[in-house]
Amino acid sequence: MSLRLQANSRLLFRVFLSHRVIFIALLAMLVLAGVGISNSSAVMSTLSVIAGNSEHAASTKIASGAITVHAAGRGRPFMNLQDGRGMSVNYRGDHNAVAALQNNAAQARALAAADFDRNGTPDVVAGFASNGTGLITLQRGNPEAFAPADDSVFARMQQGYNPNSLLAGADVYAVPASPDFLVTGNFNHDTEKDVLFAAKGGALYLMAGDGAGRLGDPQQIDLPGPVTALGAGEFRAADGFTDVAVGVSGPGG
């Protein structure tokens, strides 16, 4: 009996050591990955925005082509990503809104994607806070990066051409509130993608899409209280229409 207990004890000790080694190895991998990511200026800027340090976010200006996230060769063999790089954006629209973006006077608040111009390429919509109100930008996806229509693009890719995922132009819309919450989907039962946004503790607004990559004026949606959370998806049935969940603050919670 004593020999069996000793054998069992040695087996348990070996299992404990093997699990401990695995745990330490995983911890080391996470630390090394975290060091590479935390040194990225883009990530630091994003974390500053989330933490409320808008001064750091506003003062950080990324040069076009500069590496913002180091990812190349770090996820093999499971995930192969290229380094994230800053790109030059040509803003067009409301003069004051464009000036706020160009002068780094706007703070990023939210980001979402949808195909607003029905060309099969995802477009990006971003929300910014600026001087007590808000801005929304819509930057269209680059078809050459997702589904090239010209065979010459494939030949250029074989020679090293790597098209940007987004086109350089972005439409800017001035909105009456900071878009702290922002979601995309089909919210008015047509066939086009729309935008819903709200400020934390504020009202909910709808900007309807026209199917050609443009958004309509913000329309306020009446609610029983200020918005505290916002989500969108097909919660009920897969009917092609987007369902919306809105948290509001009121006397009953």
Torsion of CA 226, 230, 235, 239, to 10 degrees: 90
pLDDT single digits (tens) 146-195:
888 888 888 888 888 888 889 999 999 999 999 999 999 999 988 899 99
Ramachandran angles phi, psi of 215, nearest 5° = -115, 145
**What's the burial of 191, exposed, middle or buried (CB within 10 Å: 0-12/13-18/19+)?**
exposed
Give the integer Cα–Cα distance in Å for 121 and 228.
31
User: Is residue 221's pLDDT more than 80?
Assistant: yes
* Contact assessment for residue 110 and residue 126, using Cβ atoms and an 8 Å cutoff: yes
Please state the φ and ψ torsions of residue 98, each to the nearest 5 degrees: -65, -40
Whole-model pTM: value is: 0.71
C-alpha span between 59 and 70 (Å, rounded) = 21
Give 57 or 217, the one with higher predicted confidence: 217
Task: Work out the average pLDDT over 196-220.
Answer: 96
- Mean pLDDT estimate for the chain: 79
> Tens of pLDDT along 20-47?
434 444 444 444 344 343 343 443 343 3
Average pLDDT over residues 127-143: 95
